[in-house]
Amino acid sequence: METFIPEGNVNILTSLLFLRKRTPQEIQARDLGKPEDEKVFFAVAERVGYDRRGLPLYRRAPDGNVVFREQREIERVRIGGRHVERELVRTVPEIDDDLLLIADAWRKYRATGRVEVRK
């Protein structure tokens, strides 16, 4: 999604608006004076993983220390003429990005019609 690419060198707030066309049943219900309460999913991303200069932002614990997570990777190496796969476990700093949390909340909203409110 180009909207949040830090290389865009844009120092403005970005807004996204997604619209959905009403179904014929929704239009008919509205015309007959029986509209359903419309549900709206709304989220604010405070952090998108990078600052305005394009430098990564890392999630921090309440004490201010950077939060780390384990990252597992499969590495293929050649040992003695044979290809061998081995699992590597690295500890990497966790990027502070609300977009993944918002995407998860959206999926839950689509599945259940309800959303967990966070402040």
Residue spans per domain, the chain: 1-53+95-119, 58-94
Spatial separation of the C-alpha atoms in residues 105 and 103, rounded to whole Å: 5
**CA 9, 51, 46, 102 torsion: positive or negative?**
positive
> What local confidence, expressed as pLDDT, does residue 22 receive?
85
Summarize the confidence of residues 82-100 as an average pLDDT.
92
Decide if 46 contacts 101 (C-beta within 8 A): no
Spatial separation of the C-alpha atoms in residues 44 and 64, rounded to whole Å: 23
pTM of the model: 0.57
Element (H, E) at 106: helix 99-112
**48, β-bridge pairs:** 97
**Would the pLDDT of 91 be above 50?**
yes
